Amino acid sequence: MTQGFKLSQLFGGKKRLTSRIESLIGPQTTVKGDLAFAGGLHVNGQIIGHVTTSDDGSHMLTLASQGTIEGDVRVARIVLDGTVKGDVYASEHIELAANARVYGDVHYRLIEMAMGAEVNGKLVRLSDPNRPQLALGHDPITAEQIESGT
């Protein structure tokens, strides 16, 4: 049986997304190639490749401030405090901590972003399939219509 630990232990007890960590990539470790994992993954080192999980929402990635990923990230729940050079897809929740640097687009359902975090790309909100979509039922208003009062 794998013994995990809570993420709050890594961040001095501060309340954050919590999940058990089953896998750890240390600061002196570089992984070259795509990485698929289940459960919780904490990265202090470097990954050169895509990072993915199944899309059932129970998996979590934590990227520490000295950690880097060069590739796309597709994980339900993510806490980023390091650097990602690629697009990020968080199907449930993403937290961008103060040292987070993303060089790519961030696709999210729910996002938290600390002062100092950087996204050098687009923020793209994923639609929630359980939430009704707003239907306007008319064409957008143009500047000419506003000026003319019609």
The answer to whether position 40 is within a domain reads yes
CB-based contact 68:46 (threshold 8 Å):
yes
The predicted structure's pLDDT at residue 108: 96
Please tell me which residue, 128 or 93, carries the higher pLDDT value.
93
Q: Distance between CA atoms of 67 and 99, rounded to whole angstroms?
A: 10
pTM of the model: 0.75
Please tell me which residue, 2 or 75, carries the higher pLDDT value.
75
The answer to whether position 143 is within a domain reads yes
Tell me the pLDDT tens digit for each residue of 55-83.
777 899 999 999 999 999 999 999 999 99
Each residue of 47-58: b (16+ CB within 10 Å) or e?
Answer: beebbbbeeeee
The answer to whether position 76 is within a domain reads yes
When divided into structural domains, the chain yields a total of: 1
Q: Which domain holds residue 88?
A: 7-148
- Tell whether the model's pLDDT for residue 17 goes beyond 70: no
Q: Distance between CA atoms of 41 and 52, rounded to whole angstroms?
A: 11
The answer to whether position 2 is within a domain reads no
Q: Distance between CA atoms of 46 and 69, rounded to whole angstroms?
A: 6
Mean pLDDT of 114-122: 97
| Contacts of residue 62, Cβ cutoff 8 Å, sequence gap at least 6 | 7, 10, 21, 40, 41, 42, 43, 78, 79, 81
Per-residue confidence band for 6, with pLDDT thresholds at 50, 70 and 90: very low
Q: Distance between CA atoms of 100 and 114, rounded to whole angstroms?
A: 9
Per the DSSP assignment, residues forming a β-bridge with 68 are: 46, 83
- Tell whether the model's pLDDT for residue 96 goes beyond 90: yes
- Tell whether the model's pLDDT for residue 99 goes beyond 90: yes
Per-residue confidence band for 130, with pLDDT thresholds at 50, 70 and 90: low
C-alpha distance from residue 136 to each of 85, 130, 145 (Å)? 37, 19, 17
The answer to whether position 45 is within a domain reads yes
